[in-house]
Amino acid sequence: MHLTFKHFIPQFLSAFKNNITILLSAYTHFIMSFFLFVILILMVPSSNAYWPPSPGYWPSSKFRSLSFYKGFTNLWGPQHQRLDQHALTIWLDRTSGSGFKSVRPFRSGYFGASIKLQPGYTAGVITAFYLSNNEAHPGFHDEVDIEFLGTTFGKPYTLQTNVYIRGSGDGKIIGREMKFHLWFDPTKDFHHYAILWSPKEIIFLVDDVPIRRYTRKSDATFPLRPMWLYGSIWDASSWATEDGKYKADYRYQPFIAKYTNFKASGCTAYAPRWCHPVSASPYRSGGLTPQQNGAMRWVQRYHMVYNYCQDSKRDHRQTPECWG
């Protein structure tokens, strides 16, 4: 039987049609997979949306840890204070809270501690780590605060930073609050919180990431007198949680805070005048590197929940550092 070309045409067309169908199916599958991949990428936020970029410099590593008994003493509530293997536990219950204080006053320095907070209902409770000269200048004191504002179930802690100058925290409140929701759960593990105070700036840091820089724009808006370092846990139900909406509930007592890895290094009030202030950056003169500034901008963009300079209800004649 003699076969001509036209005998093969139906078979060729059928094979061609089958191949085109397979190719179209594969192409369609590829396109759908690609778009699904793109959608998933868009749906899952970048890791940068959760964790700050590296600051590139870790000031906490530049200062030695200090044992509690060498650097601090109980201030109040000694029966609500316990030291175990270099970790200090303080707690608040219906009878009392507790506080501690550095043995020496400072006129500048790096002040840090690793702190772990209590989970669950902690509304109305303040866990604090701060500088103050309230005992030396009652009614006319300076203060630099890191405060953890207690919370209710399912809501994050608020970390409040604040600066009071020359009695602005005594009666006539002129606070300079900036508040943050952290990028981690501070009840799961210890994290390092620090204040760098020099004659020209105050820098607040969390795990070596700068979160706020408060510069000396005038003597009237900057603390210059020696201060002691404090830590405490106490009942601030009147204002701590959502402006006092939620109070401390002692059904959940005791409210516990743990401190370790204490650091207090710098110029004491008794140091010679030539004692050089420490820095939070590689620059001996202070300030932050561009990388540190980038990390701070990220924190303030994604995790800052209040800035007193942006509060239209505030009388900013009292806070000239906000101008411009």
- Give every CB contact of residue 245 below 8 A, 6+ residues apart in sequence: none
**What are residue 101's DSSP bridge partners?**
73, 230
143 flagged as catalytic:
yes
Which of 143, 201, 242, 321 is an active site residue?
Answer: 143
Q: Where are the beta strands (DSSP E) in 118-245?
A: 125-132, 143-149, 158-164, 178-180, 191-198, 201-206, 209-215, 228-235
**What are residue 257's DSSP bridge partners?**
90, 117
Query: What does the DSSP assignment read for 100-153?
Result: EEESS-EEEEEEEEEEEE--S--TTEEEEEEEE-TTTSTTS--EEEEEEEP--T
Residue 99 near residue 77, CB atoms below 8 Å: yes
177 flagged as catalytic:
no
Rounded Cα–Cα distance for residues 240 and 151 (Å): 9
Which of 147, 201, 242, 321 is an active site residue?
Answer: 147
SS3 259: strand
Residue 89 near residue 74, CB atoms below 8 Å: no
Q: Which residues are catalytic?
A: 143, 147
